[in-house]
Copies of this chain bind each other. A is one copy, B any other.
């Protein structure tokens, strides 16, 4: 009798430990993708199964969706109608389906196995409900290692699914807030850009150049994100410049020029009133130093290289590159080799030489995509494919060569580049 009781208590103990450990592991992930990966890995391990998928119910679209957890497609979204297949059945009815032999069950669709090459033996599919008992998703666990899923497995998964549901709800609330700030900043940036039709799309493109430089530098995700926000907001201080000055066609008076030169200081003032999350703390600093020069001759503060955050030095280059390669009412784009000569001349004075070097290594395809961002649906991916493997530096070198010395391939690629650059497509 007592030995039995000890056995029962021990296994109950183990179950509780597993659940507690699971709860703590989930709690540590607030970002939805990481939370889903952790959940799927942990559940497969706990239930001694080959794999686990968590499908979430998208109420609006009436779809179930998930993320691929492993392999080269990791992070890819899977989506299908919310009433399709076994997961759909469970999502709609709230039933638990424990199928010990998939190929003998008429509800199982062997088509998927045929496509993926996977062999499903058994499966346990369970609804996941929030605290109001509304179904928010489905757990699907495949191929229990020895035999099929037991009744104890069902009970364990049911407890797990309650813990996971709360963690997922928290994560969704968090992501909602993140996305809300993000879309606010993107919308505002685009709106302010269109206020000044001359520079429509400027902030967007500067941000794309800047984040591309960051990626080329292999900067970590958070730093990159910070520079992205700073890029989107770098000109917000222009809200402090009257349109009569901003759009003035003729020469500016000294006072008007002073107002314009003050815009990075206004950017700082506006952005410093915002309580950015910790990982975006440098946004005001980065955004407001995009007109500083590393030799200390920039504005508004005349900072020197060590005083300008890396992000500010990245934006400075992105800002000028976009200005020189944008069309104005009174002129077309500057020729790309001329653009680069101007920048090269200023490397080590205005621009950080290291940032300039990184820019040269960006794939030319990416540069063309940003240059032509407002025409992106017209770009021909096939035609642009070769530029994926050529760095930006290549086009500058080609432009500086004697045209007579170019190979046929080089001539053909140059022609393509020029066609896009001068918008003859």
Contact = CB atoms under 8 A, between A and B. Distances in A.
Interface of A: 2-3, 5-6, 9-10, 12-13, 16-17, 19-20, 23-24, 27-28, 30, 131, 162-163, 166-167, 170, 173-174, 176-188, 190-192, 195, 239, 242-244, 270, 273-278, 280
B24 A166 contact: yes
Contacts of A5: 6
Copies in the complex: 2
Contacts of A270: 187, 191
A191 B239 contact: yes
A379 B315 CA distance: 46
Contacts of A179: 275
Given A174-B174, A188-B188, 8 more contacts: A19-B20, A23-B23, A176-B275, A176-B278, A177-B178, A180-B274, A186-B273, A244-B244
Contacts of A277: 173, 176-177, 180
A183 B170 CA distance: 22
Contacts of A24: 23, 162-163, 166
Nearest to A170: B30
B243 A276 contact: no
B177 A239 contact: no
A278 to B, nearest CB: 7
Contacts of A163: 23-24, 27
Nearest to A244: B243
